[in-house]
């Protein structure tokens, strides 16, 4: 007769281990064990002296602990929602100059310059920037011109999809249909469909200026269109506003108003846009969908402190990253870093969210798409960022520095160096409205051996005016080297730029 196998035999080791644990727990408690699970009557901590009566916190200690808990949670909320604040700040900034509707598009007709505050914008491609309001417009059509490179991010700057060269239209142009969260209606044929989890979504597209500004602008104005699907048979005209030379701000605040802005985002967006854990952290500091955000004096004081700590922490994560995955040349003392740690645009590491990487990117840069971290020889673009000089010191705008690029800079198209303000993370505002130099710059000098030198100083070195980027005494700065169409020597690191060195 065949013996039947009992599933209880499989569970027996676990059951026995459980009983063994319980037996241990019932054993006599040693003084050492008692000490490890008890709290002394007084404990000195970084938040002050904590006092207890036989493990019960005194009233003063309870107040101290809850202050600390609320402040800690607020700092975490600050760091975890920088992307959302950045998206809404770009939209609010554009609205301030008359771009309040989805069919109104910002275009840098003569390229982006330093007058406006945009996180690490560049002067090398023609930007077109807009947003979608799926709550007001419903399903929305975005007609993308041919030859564009762009992306759509949701209200927390999370990647939704690509337009143009990296998107499903493969640079030929096409019609995209963006559906609101929870949409259950009919989806017509003939569209590339995107389904973001938020009502507000932000896009930017870059047009190539290889053939000049005029053809790039003509392509955008004639072919970029945004309109509600319900008006597809007779769409309203898309309006364009030139942002070149306009002075306005798109950078998120870093004071108490950060939390006021976050409350507006939470009230606007659907509950499902965030997971319960994230929403719980936000609710813990008084920001709850459907309820007024009205912190008392105590909570406002703690939130103000948290904003200051959050801003400082984000700056540490951006300017002094502690993870090797940021460094382009990690086996040396190089200061050159990249925007995405390990080139991971989803801020993941070993199956876990890389929180510092997420905060760092959203605090310093704008726009998330896998296309920004994939390098193909001779196509796309790649970036190297220098926050510190060759001595690992912050740049001093009173002094003179030099960047040396060896001969045969490995690019299929061109390269450019742009200088930025460490406070605003936007282009440094000096007498140079377009604070970039590079292979396309007029008057830029090549050395006799084919190499190049770029100088950073308050005044141009004699004879190097065309190779000079102006700095400001009393201010720091950082630089980004952009490689358009990087070739294999850049990718495999057999060619590399010098560190930026102090020369005076």
pLDDT in tens, 447-481: 999 999 999 999 999 999 999 999 999 999 999 99
In a domain, 411, yes or no: yes
Mean pLDDT of 372-401: 93
Mean pLDDT of 329-348: 94
The pLDDT assigned to 458 comes to 98
Residue 1 has pLDDT above 50, yes or no: no
In a domain, 16, yes or no: no
pLDDT digits 0-9 by tens, 417-456:
999 999 999 999 999 999 999 999 999 999 999 999 999 9
Domain count for the chain: 2
Write down which residue in 242, 262, 291 finishes a domain: 242
> Quick one: tokens of 10?
């499989």
The pLDDT assigned to 23 comes to 52
The pLDDT assigned to 210 comes to 82
Look at the pTM and tell me if it is higher than 0.95: no
pLDDT digits 0-9 by tens, 272-309:
999 999 999 999 999 999 999 999 999 999 999 999 99
In a domain, 38, yes or no: no
DSSP 257-301: HHHHHHHHHHHHS-GGGS-HHHHHHHHHTT--TTS-----HHHHH
Cα diameter, the chain: 101
More confident: 309 or 376: 309
Write down which residue in 242, 267, 299 finishes a domain: 242
* CATH number, position 173: 2.60.40.1610
Please give the Cα distance from 230 to 407 (Å, whole number): 56
In a domain, 113, yes or no: yes
Residue 362 has pLDDT above 90, yes or no: yes
The pLDDT assigned to 18 comes to 47
What is the sign, positive or negative, of the torsion defined by CA atoms of 205, 210, 212, 216?
negative
Write down which residue in 242, 265, 299 finishes a domain: 242
Mean pLDDT of 50-72: 98
In a domain, 443, yes or no: yes
* CATH number, position 420: 2.60.120.600
The pLDDT assigned to 372 comes to 84
Residue 6 has pLDDT above 60, yes or no: no
What residues make up the domain containing 226? Answer: 83-242
In a domain, 254, yes or no: no
Residue 24 has pLDDT above 60, yes or no: no
pLDDT digits 0-9 by tens, 208-226:
888 899 999 999 999 999 9
In a domain, 170, yes or no: yes
Q: Indicate the SS3 state at residue 189.
A: coil
Mean residue pLDDT across the chain: 93
pLDDT digits 0-9 by tens, 82-138:
999 999 999 999 999 999 999 999 999 999 999 999 999 999 889 999 999 999 999
Please give the Cα distance from 436 to 450 (Å, whole number): 20
The pLDDT assigned to 22 comes to 47
pLDDT digits 0-9 by tens, 403-413:
999 999 999 99
Please give the Cα distance from 51 to 44 (Å, whole number): 9
Residues 90 and 238 in one domain: yes
Nearest alpha carbon to residue 203 among 119, 105, 283: 105
The pLDDT assigned to 8 comes to 47
Residue 15 has pLDDT above 80, yes or no: no
Contacts of 357 (CB under 8 A, 6+ apart): 323, 325, 326, 340, 341, 344, 347, 349
In a domain, 263, yes or no: no
**Could you give the percent of the chain with pLDDT greater than 70?**
94
Task: Quote the radius of gyration of the chain (alpha carbons, Å).
Answer: 27
């Amino acid at each position: 007769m065949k013996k039947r196998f009992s599933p209880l035999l499989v569970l027996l080791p676990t059951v026995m281990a459980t009983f063994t644990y319980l037996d241990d727990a019932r054993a006599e408690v040693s003084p050492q064990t008692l000490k490890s699970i008890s709290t002394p009557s007084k404990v000195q901590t970084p938040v002050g002296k904590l006092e207890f009566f036989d493990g019960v916190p005194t009233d003063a200690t309870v107040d101290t602990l809850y202050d600390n808990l609320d402040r800690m949670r607020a700092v975490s909320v600050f760091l975890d929602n920088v992307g959302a604040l950045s998206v809404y700040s770009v939209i609010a900034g554009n609205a301030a100059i008359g771009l309040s509707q989805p069919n109104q598009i910002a275009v840098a007709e003569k390229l982006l310059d330093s007058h406006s505050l945009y996180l690490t914008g560049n002067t090398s491609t023609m930007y077109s920037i807009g947003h979608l309001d799926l709550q007001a417009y419903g399903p929305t059509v975005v007609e993308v011109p041919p030859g564009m490179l762009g992306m759509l991010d949701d209200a927390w700057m999370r990647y939704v999809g690509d337009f143009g060269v990296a998107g499903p239209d493969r640079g030929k142009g096409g019609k995209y249909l963006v559906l609101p969260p929870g949409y259950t209606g009919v989806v017509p044929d003939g569209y590339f469909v995107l389904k973001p989890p938020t009502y507000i979504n932000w896009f930017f597209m870059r047009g190539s200026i290889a053939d000049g500004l005029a053809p790039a602008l003509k392509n955008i104005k004639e072919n970029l269109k945004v309109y509600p699907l319900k008006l597809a048979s007779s769409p309203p005209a898309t309006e364009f506003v030139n942002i070149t030379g306009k002075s306005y701000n798109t950078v998120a605040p870093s004071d108490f108003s950060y939390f006021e802005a976050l409350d507006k985002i939470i009230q606007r967006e659907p509950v499902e846009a965030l997971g319960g854990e994230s929403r719980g952290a936000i609710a813990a500091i008084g920001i709850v969908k459907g309820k007024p955000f009205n912190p008392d004096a105590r909570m406002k004081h703690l939130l103000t402190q948290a904003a200051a700590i959050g801003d400082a922490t984000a700056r540490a994560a951006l300017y002094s990253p502690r993870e090797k995955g940021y460094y382009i040349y990690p086996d040396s003392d190089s200061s050159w870093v990249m925007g995405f740690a390990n080139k991971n645009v989803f801020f993941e590491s070993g199956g876990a969210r890389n929180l510092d990487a997420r905060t760092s990117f959203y605090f310093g840069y704008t726009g998330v798409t896998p296309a920004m971290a994939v390098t193909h020889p001779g196509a796309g673009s790649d970036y190297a960022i220098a926050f510190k000089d060759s001595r690992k010191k912050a740049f001093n705008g009173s002094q003179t520095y030099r960047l040396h690029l060896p001969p045969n800079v490995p690019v299929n198209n061109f390269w450019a160096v742009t200088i930025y303000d460490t406070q605003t993370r936007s282009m440094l505002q000096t007498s140079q409205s377009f604070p970039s130099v590079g292979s396309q710059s007029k008057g830029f000098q090549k050395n006799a051996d084919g190499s190049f030198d770029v100088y950073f100083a308050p005044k141009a070195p004699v004879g190097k005016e065309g190779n000079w980027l102006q700095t400001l005494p009393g201010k720091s700065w950082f630089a980004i080297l952009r490689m358009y169409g990087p070739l294999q020597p850049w990718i495999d690191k057999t060619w590399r730029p010098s560190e930026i060195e102090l020369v005076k």
